[in-house]
Amino acid sequence: MLVVNPESGGGKGRRLAPRVLQALRDTGWRVTARESRDMNDVEELVAGLTGDQVVAVLGGDGTQGRAAAGAFRSGALFAPLPGGRGNDFCRVLDVPRDAVAAARALADGSERRVDAGMAGHRLFVCVAHAGFDSVANETANSTPVLRGTPVYLYAAMRTVVDWEPATFTVDVGEGPSDYPGWTVAVGNAGQYGGGMRITPAAAIDDGILDVTIAGDITRIEFLQLLPRIFNGSHVNHPKVTTLTGREITLSASRPFDVYADGELVGPLPMTIRSMPNALRVLGGR
């Protein structure tokens, strides 16, 4: 089955779907195509399959996260195809950036097991976060005219102007600790936001969650640190803390929502845990 989110990437999913469908059929797959109505529908379409079926999903990271939740429930073999703005899950899996090329490559792909994360009751595949990043994520989601990395940089610039630091309480299994600062990101995979390597040491098959905490720095320091997220060197800053754990409990001194895979999950406090070997994935390297 090919599941398409027609709204992903500002309509990118809808535009790419006919070519992706043809590429799958040209390489020998028998394909039924379904267009999702919304995110809940994505999950239910995939959850309704069986373990001997393959589901290719054309959409962005939010779509892939909800499809992964469905695949976890059904046991279907899950093949993500890039059809959104960031496409970080596809990047992490080393899936070709071009959706048609990625569809063609599935014929020669091999199956592997990867981890997922669970933020509250929501399964995710890349990064869950709260604080500055979640406020910026809300801005990015309401900005339809930009795509890819530029929309996330624009949202960050908008958010930094009015930002007031908070104190985050993080427990990775050794007791709670307080961290005054900007944001906390919990990575099942290493990146979000169209290639930002927020948790650069995270591996998608190690059963561990990686935590990055941006500490109590000035606005100028934060803006200077922001470009370093693209190569992961921000974690070398003395006021950036990195932790690891299998279960992370997170709260804050003022209200924040948690976002995961670019989509709203719910308010803090929240527990985030690793789900080792949760997904069967086809494609990438």
The answer, yes or no, to whether residue 76 has pLDDT greater than 90, is yes
Distance between CA atoms of residues 130 and 186, nearest Å: 9
What are the start and end residues of each CATH 3.40.50.10330 domain in the chain? 2-109
Q: What is the CATH number of domain 127-274?
A: 2.60.200.40
Report the CATH fold assignment for 2-109: Rossmann fold (3.40.50)
What are the pLDDT digits (tens) for 162-214? 888 899 999 999 999 999 999 999 999 999 988 899 999 999 999 999 999 99
- Reading the block at residue 43, the tokens are 């999950």
What are the pLDDT digits (tens) for 91-131? 999 999 999 999 999 999 999 999 999 999 999 999 999 99
| Whole-number pLDDT of residue 194 | 85
Distance between CA atoms of residues 225 and 235, nearest Å: 9
Lookup result for tokens 């046991």: 75
Among 98, 100, 78, which residue's Cα sits nearest to residue 87? 98
| Whole-number pLDDT of residue 146 | 58
In the predicted model, what is the mean pLDDT of the chain? 92
What are the start and end residues of each CATH 2.60.200.40 domain in the chain? 127-274
| Contact indicator for 182, 153 with CB cutoff of 8 Å | no
What are the pLDDT digits (tens) for 120-174? 999 999 999 999 888 887 877 676 655 555 776 777 777 887 888 899 999 999 9
| Whole-number pLDDT of residue 147 | 54
